[in-house]
Structure 1
Amino acid sequence: MGQAYGRPRRLTTAAAPAHPHGPGTMDAMSSSTPGPSAGLDPALASRLKRTADGLVPAIAQQYDTGEVLMMGWMDDEALHRTLTTGRCTYWSRSRGEYWVKGDTSGHVQHVKSVALDCDGDTLLVKVDQVGAACHTGARTCFDEDVLL
């Protein structure tokens, strides 16, 4: 059934102060370009293999069923926010800003764990998804166009 590659490594970050408005709320979510985070543990940041524009793909998976929900992009700051708030924060390439899943739709992703793959180039974020994960309103982004 294929070669086993071992368990993904669980990620941690340096302790950060709680956000003044509570978990999952953030001020100044937008930025013109993705970039480094002053808060991400440098040891963790050094393990990430990013695209030329500083991003890492992040696969969101339902923690209890294993259902693959969606793929989004994270930079160091988005990963730091995800690890410290318990809510998935992504970088929108089309809008050029950070976004917290569910802030406008109510379809929140509560983070259960975050792992880095063996190559350091993909994140697996296990979440408890509230409502639809896909922007189309579907539960998952991967059930509408099955190829095989």
Structure 2
Amino acid sequence: MTLDPAIAAVLKRSADGLLPAIVQDAGSGRVLMLAWMDDEALARTLATGRGTYWSRSRQQYWVKGETSGNVQHVREVRLDCDADTVLLIVDQAGPACHTGATTCFDNHVLKADA
């Protein structure tokens, strides 16, 4: 699958061709996870409406929920002002984190105002 050339032209990728993808829940507004996308993953996400990412550790594409059933139905994809990060606003079915937590940011609070 090929990314629309108009979109590809504005993206500012890392040296390894990746963009960080922040995933946010459409209903609650909570940040669910951070993943990585290359042009192919972004093109697949835009075409299918399913969160599709590049696994840096496994060096392969993965569709969120393909094995767990915890799918992401993508409502919107936005590009930040620097064109170096994408934001996916999704309807998340089930937990987003592979640990079973609702978000990948439920643990390890480094600072919280009381």
Normalised TM-score (structure 2): 0.95
Which residue of structure 2 aligns with residue 44 of structure 1? Answer: 7
Structure 2: gaps of 5 or more residues? none
Secondary structure, aligned partner of 1:114: strand
* 1:133 matches 2:96: yes
Stretches of 4+ aligned residues off by more than 6 angstroms: none
Secondary structure, aligned partner of 1:124: strand
Give the number of equivalent residue pairs. 111
Post-superposition Cα deviations, 1:68-125, rounded to whole Å, max 9, x if no partner, equal: 0000000000000000001000000000000000000101000000000000000000
Secondary structure, aligned partner of 1:115: strand
Secondary structure, aligned partner of 2:44: helix
Q: Which residue among 87, 103, 116 is the counterpart of 2:50?
A: 87
Secondary structure, aligned partner of 1:84: helix
**When you count strand as a share of all residues, which structure comes out higher?**
2
**Greater gyration radius:** 1
Q: Which residue among 73, 93, 96 is the counterpart of 2:59?
A: 96
Structure 1: gaps of 5 or more residues? 1-36
Normalised TM-score (structure 1): 0.74
Q: How does 1:106-121 map to 2 (within 5 A)?
A: 106-121=69-84
